[in-house]
Amino acid sequence: MTDRQIKKRKSRRIYVGDIPIGDGAPVAVQSMTNTDTRDVSSTVAQIKRLEDAGCEIVRMAIPDEVAADALQRIKGKVKAPLIADIHFDYRLAIAAIKAGADGLRINPGNIGDRGKLEKVINEAGTRNIPIRIGVNSGSLQKDILDKYGHPTPEAMAESALEHIRIFEEMGFTNIKISMKSSNVLNTIAAYEILSDKTDYPFHLGVTEAGTLISGTVKNALGIGMLLHEGIGDTMRVSLSRDPVEEVKAAYEILRALDLRHRGPEIISCPTCGRTEIDLFSIVEAVEKGLQGITASPKVAVMGCVVNGPGEAREADVGIAGGRGQGVLFKKGEVVGKFPEEELAAVLIREVKKIAG
Ligand code: SF4
């Protein structure tokens, strides 16, 4: 914990299903299924895994009428609110709303003319569900691109403001905004520019960010720097990976900023020439063994007696390795010495005791 509190940007409150977004609500964690939405059983199974990992809102692609129909059946089998991701065809947006979607994500740049957008907005208004205006650097309106030459942060912010104005003219304000680019600095700048021009809640993300390491780093910087400025009300980490990893990464970003804490915090040393236990295997076993725990005790796995006992003592539970053995600490007290092969199991058992 730190004394430095992040000062949050003032934003309006909207709800996706029963999940509050904006106006001081905890930053909501989202992800997106990568199953074929029409395959109901696979999609439900993936959503349940996402829910177990702490995903609070699930988005899914609705590429055709069959997928819209599937959404209705999926909804009856899962708890998380579902957002229908729609491109190009406004009729799919209407079908998804009728199928029970809790929210829509549309790119107004490709949904069609004003008349079509109005039909979508009217249907969303009737059912009282929010719409995310998702501006993407790759699909900005032609006039804005002509004006700026490139999808600059200023161009993305102007595009968002233009869409906000259109929605407001149609009397629809149940919206949140995202402006995504695969460029971290442009993403940050776009949100910064827009942050004092509107108080609609912001959905944060760095799109097409990449694989586990590169994508996590880009998201952690892009989303993390914005959150640190107090900007952002909900987030989706985007990775070329199992979406459950996106949720885990999201909670690590939130934890690092002391915004939300879900699951044990594992502190482990990088190992060095002094390490005399197989620390990597132990920490992997500990991480696996603690999956599913929502309490957030600090758990230290340290290789030796140099920094080990210090960190292990600061943690709620920890071990510090020695030659083929390790010392177990709990709340600052030495509990005992255990052989190396028992360390992971002993640590997991102790964490489970305090995590309830
Ligand atoms: Fe090396 Fe010990 Fe530090 Fe781990 S805790 S990196 S083993 S000095």
Q: How confident is the model at residue 308 (pLDDT cuts 50, 70, 90)?
A: low
- What radius of gyration do the chain's Cα atoms show? 23
- pTM, two decimal places: 0.93
Q: Which tokens sit at 203?
A: 């959905």
d(CA 74, CA 269): 43
Q: For a pocket test of ligand 1, which of 279, 283, 304, 323 has the largest count of ligand atoms closer than 8 A to its C-beta?
A: 304
Domain ranges of the chain: 14-256, 265-355
Q: Is residue 2 over pLDDT 80?
A: no
pLDDT tens digits along 215-250: 999 999 999 999 999 999 999 999 999 999 999 999
- In this prediction, residue 3 carries a pLDDT of 55
Task: Give me the pLDDT at residue 312, please.
Answer: 67
- How does DSSP assign 186-224, residue by residue? HHHHHHHHHHTT--S-BEE--TT--SHHHHHHHHHHHHH
Phi, psi of 291 (to 5 degrees): -60, 140
Class of domain 14-256: alpha beta
**In this model, does residue 309 exceed pLDDT 70?**
no
pLDDT for res 346: 96
For residue 269, the ligand 1 atom closest to its alpha carbon is 4
Which pLDDT score, from 0 to 100, does residue 306 have?
74
Average pLDDT over residues 276-287: 95
Containing H/E element for 321?
Answer: strand 317-321
Residue whose entry in the numeric block shows the structure tokens 């390795």? 321
Find the residues whose C-beta lies inside 6 A of ligand 1: 269-272, 274-275, 302-304, 306-308
Q: pLDDT at residue 183 above 60?
A: yes
pLDDT higher than threshold 70 for residue 1: no
Topology agreement, domain 14-256 and domain 265-355: no
pLDDT in tens, 129-144: 999 999 988 888 889 9
Please state which of the ranges 44-48, 201-205, 265-269, 312-316 shows the lowest mean pLDDT.
312-316
Residues 6+ apart with CB under 8 A from 313: 329, 332
Query: Any idea which architecture 265-355 has in CATH?
Result: 2-Layer Sandwich (3.30)
Sign of CA dihedral 119, 120, 124, 125: negative
The closest alpha carbon to 79, from 99, 106, 51, 107, belongs to 51
**How many Cα atoms sit within 13 Å of 52 on the Cβ side?**
11
Task: Tell me the sheet residues that pair with 236.
Answer: 30
Q: Which atom of ligand 1 is nearest to the CA of 304?
A: 2
Cα–Cα distance, 189 to 147 (Å, whole number): 18
Q: Map residue 342 onto helix, strand or coil.
A: helix
123, amino acid identity: E
CA dist., res. 232 & res. 228, Å (int): 9
Predicted pLDDT of residue 20: 98
pLDDT at 304: 85
Mean pLDDT confidence for 279-306: 92
Q: What is the mean pLDDT of the chain?
A: 93
Q: What is the mean pLDDT of residues 104-116?
A: 85
Q: Pocket of ligand 1, candidates 266, 268, 272: which has the most ligand atoms within 8 Å of its Cβ, to mutate?
A: 272
What integer pLDDT is reported at residue 4 of this predicted model? Answer: 62
User: pLDDT (tens digit, 9 = 90+) per residue, 13-25?
Assistant: 999 999 999 999 9
Q: What is the pLDDT of residue 331?
A: 82
b/e per residue 248-260 (b: at least 16 CB within 10 A): bbbbbbbeebebb
